[in-house]
Amino acid sequence: MRQWVHYNEQYRTYYHSETIAWDYTQERPYKGDVTEGEKLMYLHLFYNPGKALEDEMNFNDFIPCGALSVIG
């Protein structure tokens, strides 16, 4: 995802969108039939390197100093 083709200069953010399709079946007892079709979901991913660094620094400030020696 961190490729130039996925970069938006205006927002300084990387992005990627994907359409996910699946077959859908629903029994409708009140009508006595079954509906079938294809459902779509749109997945949008965004990544901002500056925000990621800021979040990581905030997370490191949140962790007590003694806990880092246990993790690493």
pLDDT tens-place string over residues 23-41: 999 999 999 999 999 999 9
pLDDT at 15: 94
Question: Rounded CA gap, 40 and 21, in Å?
Answer: 5
Average pLDDT over residues 7-31: 93
pLDDT at 48: 92
Strands 7-8 and 13-28: antiparallel
For the chain, domain boundaries? 4-71
